[in-house]
Amino acid sequence: MIHWLTQSHDVVPQTAVHGQPLRFLSDSEAERLAALPNNKQRRDWLLGRWTAKRLLQTVIWETNGTTVPLDLITVKNVASGMPTIESQLPLVDGQFSLSLSQADGQVLVTAVAKPNWPIGAQIDPIRPRSEEYINDCFTEKELALVRQVKGVERDVLVAAVCSAKTAVRQALKLDPSIDSRALSCLVDPEKRPSDTWVPFKIRYDNSRLPQPAPHLSGWWRTLDQFVLTLVVQQ
């Protein structure tokens, strides 16, 4: 099962920038927070940690009937930027795969109860994007779908494709230098979701990838002025 949660800055417990560490942080996280250079980075970082910890706390309670204190869950980032989970508790440590994305003060976190599992999530604002950008980044199949709609519907579809491609790149841990046209995320323009997740198709050009990619399943939806996507190996 895929678990997800989205939140904004106003739900994060407040504290003075140079005050006492927040109680939901582990010791290493409190040190990391203190080392961040400015208030914006601290706010964004706290939003991601708070949301990831609340999601995991809820999932663990639903599956094990145990309420894990948030400060016993440590969310770290590996060299690739992907988040990992550490804890002194065996039912938490290394038991989950996580993906986290932020945009304009909103965060999306997804998790599966499987270690080292391909998963990706992305949240993107709905806004106009130039034809030049789309032509440079989209495959012919993606372009064919985008050309079927105009106006706001086009902006939504383009945001969905961009978001989906980024989520796939996260799940596959692709290097940024890999051409975005090595993969296609085919979002049906006639099925715009609102409060439900709708599947989309993922296709690869393995000749452009460093190794053959596993089969991933993907879903997307809208939330206010954002598009949310998630992908996972099933």
Classify residue 201 by its DSSP letter. Answer: E
pLDDT tens string 107-123: 999 999 999 999 999 99
User: Residue 222 — very low, low, confident or very high, per pLDDT cuts 50/70/90?
Assistant: very high
Does 16 score more than 90 pLDDT?
no
Share of the chain above pLDDT 90, in %: 82
DSSP H helix total and E strand total for the chain = 5, 10
State residue 98's pLDDT score: 96
Q: What is the pLDDT of residue 81?
A: 76
Residue type, 136: D
d(CA 38, CA 31) in angstroms, rounded, equals: 14
CA 18 from chain center: how many Å? 29
Evaluate if residue 139 carries a pLDDT over 70. yes
In the predicted structure, residue 27 carries a pLDDT above the cut 70: yes
Q: Would you state the pLDDT for residue 60?
A: 96
Structure confidence at residue 174 as a pLDDT band (50, 70, 90): very high
Report the candidate in 72, 78, 73 with the shortest Cα–Cα distance to residue 99: 78
d(CA 80, CA 76): 11
Q: What is the DSSP letter of 182?
A: G
Average confidence (pLDDT) over 184-207 = 90
Structure tokens at 66: 């145990």
Assess whether pLDDT exceeds 80 at residue 148. yes
Q: Which of 8, 39, 1, 53 is nearest to 226 (CA)?
A: 8
pLDDT value at residue 17: 45
Nearest to 155 by CA among 136, 137, 134: 134
Q: What is the pLDDT of residues 78-92, one digit of tens each?
A: 877 789 999 999 999
Burial of 34 (0-12, 13-18, 19+ CB in 10 A): exposed
Residue 138 confidence (pLDDT) above 90: yes
Amino acid residing at 105: G
- Give tens-digit pLDDT for 41-89: 999 999 999 999 999 999 999 989 999 999 999 999 887 778 999 999 9
Residue 187 has pLDDT above 60, yes or no: yes
Q: What domains appear along the chain, each with residue ranges and CATH number?
A: 3-117 (3.90.470.20), 121-233 (3.90.470.20)
**130, amino acid identity:** S
* Contacts for 50 with CB less than 8 Å, ≥ 6 apart: 7, 11, 12, 13, 24
